[in-house]
Structure 1
Amino acid sequence: MDRNRIMTRVSELPLYWRTLRHLKMIQVADRIRRRLFPARPDLSPAPPLRPGRKKPYHGCRSRAEVSGNRFTFLHCSAEVCRPGDWNRKDCSKLWLYNLHYFDFLRNEDVDGAHWIDRWIRENPPGSGNGWEPYPLSLRIVNWIKYHRSGHSLSPKALNSLAVQLRFLAASLEYHLLANHLLANAKALIFGGSFFDGEEGAKWLRKGWEMYREQLPEQILADGGHFERSLMYHSILLEDLLDVHQETGGEFLRTHLLKMLGFLRSFTGPDGRIALFNDAAFNVAPGPEELLEYAGRLGLRPEGPEGGGWFADSGYLRLERGDWTLFADAAPVGPDYQPGHAHADTLGFELFFKTRRIAVDSGVSGYQTPRRNPERGTGAHNTLRLDGRDSSEVWAAHRVGRRARITETRELPDGFTAEHDGYRPVMHRRSWRWLEDGSGLRIEDELKGTGSHTAELFWHFHPDCPVELREPGRAVVAEDFLLTYPADRLTAGVADDFWSPEFGLVLPNRTLILRYQGTLPLQLSVIISEKK
């Protein structure tokens, strides 16, 4: 290794320390264990099946598209014609995960027995993407659902299912924790309720043990999931509904009612989720589908409809007249697992009636060149100082320095919050409705000293073009007027992108307001109906 590379590595040590110091000991120990003692496939015959139902399984639709050997996930299509295609080099890791999930078994026109048999023949035990714990967990559940719904798994498939369960039980994702560990637990519960005997009982016991340990931490008192992503919240909500249908139990019901209420509150007037952090449409079932599924199981959301301040999650929903605001005054996520966090502190999304006006930039993928920019502060409707991200996002799922919320307060006409992501400078933001209900005022305050550059980002929906008409005034979608102090801010409009779904990148426009000067600083920007 040459001297320059050594110096680069040394210079990166503080970044690694800021990232790794938050890990739990169990995460560190499990990474060491996985290196020294990797799981080995146990090819013993499958245990007997528990006497169980065979009837249509109430659940959500698949979002996979299958035509012959061609699969479409995440707006990307590829064929699976040869054994090596299960681990194609020209497809992203996330696409391959989706292939191995086997969600497509829910599609009525798919020959499930054919694809199960092919998977068994072409994916040797313990080898390839399909044997990693997360896709393994989802596939186990989908194969069992397939059998429960009136199809029959062959003896060969039942033996493979048992091998997969044993392999999963030996490779539970304690190095990651969070939503991955809950997916592992769900698979063990399904496996234990499907297979009888000592092995089945052991899987069932372990799965419930993990649920009882993890759910009280991961599902917050206000019903939000602690990774602060409405997409993962929805994925886990579907998982808990599935387990509730499979096993019942008051323990799950309590969490489900809270989660349903939270989802309802952070569903926009357009019927879709808020896009804070790693969130995209059409990965998890949509809110309407999840609420309908819950209703079929006799579950209804807790609490009144509407919004307010969800203090445990750190998310805000405010409404006034035709306007709806979602705002993020939350931690980046659990300190030991912020892998789905963005540097979006004090960001927001804004609706007028059912129209999304100001949008979060979304997520186009986890293994794309856009990954870091999409996680950065400049991709969100918030303030960036001196070109720095409010939290130090890096690699695909890493965070070093983290912004902390230091103060929150409800106001008669809105809400205010402060964070220390630019310490020693503090950033305070207030969202305040105009007195006549015609719009929203956003006030930003930077408390500090010295000369700095501040940028305010307004990302607009593709259907909302923005045009600078004169200093201090911008017209949005011909229906709204955005005003700002032209004596303090310079304005520019940039071509940008909105990624509301994985694999989907749509052109949009972003208004950037810049300040160059000394601190302290107070700014006010208003968006209102054009009169």
Structure 2
Amino acid sequence: MSKLRLYIDTALHLKPSQIAYRIWRKLGGSTRLHVGYRPCPDADKADIRRVPALSEIDFDPVFLARFDVDALLDDRVELLNHEERMDWRESWHAELSTPLWRFNLHYHEYLLPLAKAFLDEGDKRYLDKAKAIVDSWIDACPRERGGVAWDPYVISMRIVSWLAFRAELDDALRTDDAFCERINASLAEQYVHLSQHLEKDLLANHYLENLKALAILACYFGDRKTLELALPMLKAQVNEQVLDDGMHFELSPMYQKIVLEDLMRAAIVLRDSGFGEHAEAFKLQQMCDCLYSMERGIDRTPLFNDCGDNVAKSRDALLLCARERFGVVPEFHGVLKNSGYCILERQTKAGFVKVIFDAGKPGPAYAMGHVHCDALSFECFVDGGPWIVNCGTFAYQDAKRLEFKKTHSHSTVMVNGEEQHECWAPFRVARYSTGAVEDSAATIVRGALLQCGGKCKVVREIVLEADGLRVVDHLVGDGCIESAFVFARDVPEADGQIDEVAYAPEFGVYRDSCRIISQPANSHEVYFTYPRYKKAVI
């Protein structure tokens, strides 16, 4: 493939404004909330009562289990299954691990496990360590030094961690005037910087998170003028990015949960600041319906597009928060018609069987960075444990990145030996195929893939039978197809090529799993008997 042709095809489905803003940002230009506008936050007006603690998600047991608080006391930080020893004076700017790991380091989510340990045990070491980490960041990361610390997306995530930490420990921190003043001064500076550097070139979840952060900080500082500018923009992005079926438009179940958490945080802040009517536009009911439908009865985040099970808060914590704070009771939907996901469920002798099938488009044309070649792919869970799976993501900045995006890293169909989409760089897609749901019922679903260029069409039908899973693939047009199936465990006997493939249910770690690839043909039909086991490892 010609690199020039790939660049051109990638640029063709971007918005002209994205290209213009990318060039402008590269030249050092600002991307303000509004032309000529700069917030003037008054740190003295900061009020943590406007940002209530959401303990249901701040102290989500699944989230807390990702951190070792005693290791943090020993200056060891594990993120995304990788640990680094920290020198809190120097490590903020060190080339540790990967860029994604360094982003997560600057999110400061690990302040919340330290807060919980302090509240549970009353051991002041945990509180002192958390405060020391914040102090060290403020000292080591002045605005003029820039870098990862002042990346707009990083700011958008870190301010949530700081405010949650502050709210959860209000009783312990309110008497420490010096520390609170330092936090407020830094938050004010981050607020102003973010308002001048919105990610209008990337858009998608980055831009939504920028606007969410501005809305929360505007409420925190009592800055009504900035809130009046940011709120309509945030609501417009929610309207565009959260589909009517509740899925985030980048079609990643992981990012859907991240966005749901942050919209709930923004909604509760708006409500407690007297702007609750605006939160009605955040589609919380639809998002909870989507999450419940996708994850009811299973043990991990489904792996479609960029996804991992060790990033977002858990299903149970998010749905608990939605119920307790907003009275949302989720409803199950077997077809998410806007995103193209279909869910089949059946009680069998082997246990509860669930299939999640992707028959939608790859994502928004102008934001394809998280797309995988997973059209017509599916995951099958038995008694909550994954059985037939997609391979996941593993990492964003790694030599294996593109391998995990390939068609045969998913339980799906390849046409004429060609990748479904041209994923040619870690976050770039040139030409792409598209899918559609053709029919769906309680235990049967049929979807179609139109290969990029419209050269041919593949139809896949999946049937949940009493004792096993039936998958029928048929090519409409010239050529041949190969059907791949990746097994997390309990590999059945089947015809075809059998090999090993890397399977990464979480970021930062993978293991070898078995893959069966059918021989090239015009059509395939396979039947896999359900395994019988109680619970599977992920």
Partner of 1:136: 155
Q: For the Cα contact (< 8 Å) 2:75–2:87, is it kept in 1?
A: yes
Deviates more, 1:170-179 or 1:102-111: 102-111
Cα 1:406/1:99, change in 2 over 3 Å: closer
- In structure 1, C-alpha distance between the alignment counterparts of 2:442 and 2:107, rounded to whole Å: 48
The Cα RMSD (Å) is 2.5
2:267 paired residue number: 244
| TM-score, normalised relative to structure 2 | 0.85
| Counterpart position of 2:536 | none
Residue 99, structure 1, aligned to residue 105, structure 2: yes
CA contact (8 A) 1:309 1:315 kept: yes
Does 64-73 or 120-129 show the bigger shift? 64-73
Of 245-254 and 23-32, the range deviating more from structure 2: 245-254
The Cα of 1:412 is off from its aligned counterpart by 7.9
Deviates more, 1:124-133 or 1:228-237: 124-133
Kindly tell me: are residues 89 and 52 of structure 1, through their superposed partners in 2, closer, same or farther at Cα, counting changes over 3 Å?
closer
**1:100-139 mapped onto 2 (5 Å cutoff):** 100-107=106-113, 108=115, 109-110=126-127, 111-126=129-144, 127-139=146-158
8 Å CA contact 2:292, 2:315 repeated in 1 = yes
The amino acid of 2:58's aligned partner reads C
CA deviations on 1:317-365 (whole Å, 9 max, x unpaired) are: 0123332111000111111001111010000001223232101111111
* 2:213 matches 1:213: no
Q: 1:406 Cα deviation (Å)?
A: 5.3
> Residue 368 of structure 1 aligns with which residue?
398
- Structure 2 vs 1, CA of residues 140 and 529 (structure 1 numbering), >3 Å: closer, same or farther? closer
Distance apart, 1:160 and its partner CA = 1.7
Residue 167 of structure 2 corresponds to 148
Report the Cα distance in structure 1 between the residues aligned to 2:88 and 2:43, rounded to whole angstroms: 31
**Matched residue type, 1:509:** C
| Contact 1:342/1:393, CA 8 A, preserved across alignment | yes
Task: Give yes or no for contact 1:280–1:501 (8 Å, CA) kept in 2.
Answer: yes
Task: From 393, 402, 405, give the equivalent of 2:432.
Answer: 402
The number of aligned residues is 487
Match of 2:35 in 1: none
1:91 partner letter: S
Instruction: Tell me whether 22-31 or 166-175 shows the greater mean CA deviation.
Output: 22-31
Q: Could you tell me how far 1:299 is from its partner in structure 2?
A: 2.6
Q: Tell me if structure 2 keeps the 8 A contact 1:60–1:293.
A: no
Separation in 2, partners of 1:526, 1:230: 27
Matched-pair identity in %: 30
Residue 427 of structure 1 aligns with which residue? 458
Q: Choose from 43, 48, 51 the match for 2:44.
A: 48
Alignment-mate amino acid for residue 525 of structure 1: V
Q: How does 1:239-318 map to 2 (within 5 A)?
A: 239-248=262-271, 249-253=276-280, 255-303=283-331, 305=332, 307-318=333-344
Q: What whole-Å deviation, never above 9, does each CA across 1:4-62 have from its counterpart, x for those lacking one?
A: xxxx9xx3222112111111122122212212344599998854324552875433335
User: What is the CA–CA distance in structure 2 between the aligned matches of 1:130 and 1:188, rounded to whole Å?
Assistant: 17
Once the two structures are TM-superposed, the CA of residue 235 in structure 1 deviates from its matched residue by 0.4
Give the Cα–Cα distance (whole angstroms) in 2 for the partners of residues 115 and 406 of structure 1.
49
Distance 1:443 1:160, change over 3 A: same
Contact 2:483 2:518 in 1 (8 A): yes
How far residue 302 of structure 1 moved from its aligned partner, in angstroms, is: 4.0
Q: Secondary structure at the match of 2:446?
A: strand
Gaps of 5+ in 1: 1-7, 467-473, 475-481, 483-489
**Aligned-pair CA distance for 1:83:** 3.8
Tell me the equivalent position of 1:173.
199
- Equivalent residue, structure 2, for 1:443: 472
Amino acid at match of 1:60: D
Contact kept in structure 2, 1:46 and 1:158, CA below 8 Å: no
Query: Do the aligned partners of residues 113 and 373 (structure 1) sit closer, same or farther apart at CA in structure 2, a change above 3 Å counting?
Result: same
Alignment of structure 1 residues 184-195 onto 2, 5 Å: 184-195=210-221
Matched, 1:511 2:516: yes
Deviation per CA, 1:154-197: give whole Å up to 9, x if none.
3233222111111100000111111111111121112111113x
Q: Letter of the 1:77 partner, please give it.
A: E
Instruction: Quote the Cα distance in structure 1 between the aligned partners of 2:288 and 2:436.
Output: 29
Q: Contact between 2:376 and 2:435, CA under 8 Å: does it hold in 1?
A: no
Conserved in 2, the CA contact under 8 Å of 1:185 and 1:206? no
Give the AA of the match of 1:494.
Answer: D
Q: Choose from 487, 502, 507 the match for 1:502.
A: 507
| Post-superposition CA distance 1:274-294 (Å, at most 9, x none) | 111111102001101111122
What residue is the counterpart of 2:420 in the other structure? 390
* Larger RCO (CA within 8 A; separation ≥ 6): 2
Instruction: Give the counterpart of 2:9 among 10, 18, 24.
Output: 18
- Shifted more, 314-323 versus 79-88: the winner is 79-88
Deviations 1:479-529 (A, max 9, x none): xxx5xxxxxxx612112221011111122111121226xxxx222111124
SS in 2 for 1:335: coil
Within 1, Cα distance between the matches of 2:370 and 2:19?
19
Q: 1:271 to 1:407 in 2, by over 3 A?
A: closer
Tell me the CA shift for residue 465 of structure 1: 3.8
Structure 1 distance, partners of 2:322, 2:441, is: 35
Q: TM-score, normalised by structure 1?
A: 0.86
CA distance in 2, matches of 1:251, 1:431: 41
Q: Secondary structure at the match of 1:166?
A: helix
- Partner letter of residue 463 of structure 2? R
Q: CA 1:105 to 1:206, structure 2 compared with 1: closer, same or farther past 3 Å? A: farther
Which ranges of structure 2 fall in alignment gaps of 5 or more residues?
Answer: 33-37, 116-125, 533-538
- Between Structure 1 and Structure 2, the one with more helix by share is 2
Residues in 1 aligned to 2:397 and 2:241: alpha-carbon distance in whole angstroms: 26
Which whole-Å deviations, capped at 9, do the CAs of 1:381-437 have from their partners, x for residues lacking one? 011123321111121111111112256223685121211225412111111233xx2
Aligned equivalents of 1:342, 1:415: Cα separation in 2: 21
Deviates more, 1:325-334 or 1:352-361: 352-361
Following the alignment from structure 1 to structure 2, what is the Cα–Cα distance between the partners of residues 39 and 52?
30
The Cα offsets for residues 120-172 of structure 1, whole Å up to 9 and x where unpaired, read as 11112141111000111111222223333302443233222111111100000
TM-aligned CA deviation for residue 250 of structure 1? 4.2
Tell me the residue number matched to 1:343. Answer: 373
Distance 2:261 2:436 in 1: 33
2-structure distance, mates of 1:382, 1:91 = 32
Other structure's SS at 2:157 match: helix
User: Match of 1:326, SS?
Assistant: strand
Correspondence for 2:409: 379
- Alpha-carbon deviations, 1:301-330, whole Å to 9, x = none? 343x3x422110100001233321110001
